[in-house]
Amino acid sequence: GQNIDQPTEMTATEGAIVQINCTYQTSGFNGLFWYQQHAGEAPTFLSYNVLDGLEEKGRFSSFLSRSKGYSYLLLKELQMKDSASYLCAVRVPSGYSTLTFGKGTMLLVSP
């Protein structure tokens, strides 16, 4: 089966940096994705890693270590609007581009 773990909740203050970790154990690996989901809304794509290393995109960065089955999402200069659930998802090799999602990390940014 597939197992994707991430913390349930995290809190941080505005302007700070927060790192959200994700570990995975899957039958195969074909990429790791991070999505942001605000309450009652659909997830929106943040980042994609398929090779080891760091991918930076503005205030958001994502890191992957395939040998360790580990990724993190780094959010810098936190803003109140960053309060949301952050979903780690893994794509396993198959005929389709399906993703298996973790339970999500609810991030609360306070003033």
Partner 1 sequence: GAVVSQHPSRVICKSGTSVKIECRSLDFQATTMFWYRQFPKKSLMLMATSNEGSKATYEQGVEKDKFLINHASLTLSTLTVTSAHPEDSSFYICSAPTGAGANVLTFGAGSRLTVL
The CA-to-CA distance between both ends of the chain, in Å, stands at: 40
Under DSSP, the state recorded for 91 is P
Task: Rule CB under 8 A: say whether 96 interacts with partner 1.
Answer: yes
Considering only residues 12 to 41 of the shown chain, the ones binding partner 1 according to CB under 8 A are 31, 33, 40-41
Query: Which of 90, 99, 107, 109: binder of partner 1 (CB under 8 A)?
Result: 99
Task: Rule CB under 8 A: say whether 45 interacts with partner 1.
Answer: yes
Query: Which of 20, 43, 61, 78: binder of partner 1 (CB under 8 A)?
Result: 43
Q: What residue type is 109 in one-letter code?
A: V
Residue pair 64/53 in contact by the 8 Å Cβ criterion: yes
Considering only residues 51 to 80 of the shown chain, the ones binding partner 1 according to CB under 8 A are none
Residue 77 CA: distances (Å) to CA of 8, 59, 70, 102: 22, 7, 23, 25
Chain residues in the site for partner 1 (CB under 8 A): 31, 33, 40-45, 48, 87, 96-104, 106
